[in-house]
Amino acid sequence: LKMHVAFTIDVDADVAWACEGKTCAVTKGKDEALFEASESGFVSLQALLEENGWPATLFFEARAAEAMNAGDKDLKNFEIACHGLAHEDFTGKDTGLKMKRGDKAAVLAEAKRKLEDVFPRHSISGFRAPYLHWDKELLELLLETGFLYDSSVTVAREREVDSPLPEVPLLEFEVAGKKKSSYLWQLMEGKYSVEEYLPFVAKALEENALVVLATHSWHLSRSVAKGELSDAQAKANEEKVRKVLNFAEESGAMFTSISDFLGVSLD
């Protein structure tokens, strides 16, 4: 049985943070959305992936794709998927603002259309909810909008998620007394070392047909707790990603985009 890893990058605003009473996000501590760290981190990660021949799925916020002129980048080796229009909190959990069903549908359709404009050679099949905030209504709307899968749900082990469309979940479970997740967030924040994280990857590969790993491109050079990081710290974060992915490859995992794994690519 072949093990698979889908490395995914959420490309959104630097330290995208929910605003109270507004659906869209800004950069934490600012009154606007910045894309500098997101872009520079993306350039580093793209180079790392290409150097190793690793495919990946890029969940682009449509606003970020436009701000970064991402259509000018050569991304033919990558899957492009959707991470909202302007990093909406679709459930209103953090913003306190309940979006109407019609407003959510309009935002999803516009995000998909914008990404199709920016990336005319890609088909946009997948979706990941900003903040991983999802509910049944959002999943229904994704299907109605023409998305072919979602990757917003976190579970301890891959299983059938009760959803109207295929779900490619993120994983989270305890290893050596600490909860670890598909998201490299805590690793990037320095909450634990790469060595402490690798047993999570090993166990996840043992128990699941597809292991999704995820990071934000800005997380190389921005820390939620510490703010802007030095070039050396950004390089160290990039090395953490390299070590995790190298470990997966050395464990025998095959790298794939999510759409290729599901066989839903329409290109």
Binding site for Zn ion (CB under 5 A): 10, 12, 16, 130
CB-nearer residue toward Zn ion: 10 or 39: 10
Closest separation between CB of residue 128 and Zn ion, Å? 8
Which of residues 7 and 247 has its CB atom nearest to Zn ion in the complex? 7
Shortest reach from residue 186's CB to Zn ion, in Å: 16
Give the Cα separation of 50 and 102 in Å (integer). Answer: 40
Question: Min. distance of Cβ 154 from Zn ion in angstroms?
Answer: 14
Place of tokens 């800005």: 218
Distance, CA of 189 to chain centre: 16
12 vs 167, which CB is nearer to Zn ion? 12
Burial, 189: exposed, middle or buried (Cβ in 10 Å; 0-12, 13-18, 19+)? middle
* Closer residue to Zn ion, CB minimum distance, 188 or 205: 188
The pair of three-digit structure tokens given for residue 113, joined into one six-digit string: 């259309």
Q: Which is nearer to Zn ion, 16 or 138 (CB)?
A: 16
* Shortest distance (Å) from residue 207 CB to Zn ion: 26
Task: Quote the tokens at residue 132.
Answer: 């991983």
Nearer to Zn ion, 183 or 255 (CB): 183
How many angstroms separate the CA atoms of 95 and 89, rounded?
Answer: 7
Cβ atoms of 14 and 61 closer than 8 Å:
no
Output Rg (C-alpha) for the chain, integer angstroms: 17
Concatenating the DSSP letter of every residue in 65-89 gives HHHTTGGGS--TTSEEEE--SS---
Burial of 162 (0-12, 13-18, 19+ CB in 10 A): exposed
CB of 221 to Zn ion, least distance (A): 16
Give the shortest CB-253-to-Zn ion separation in angstroms. 25
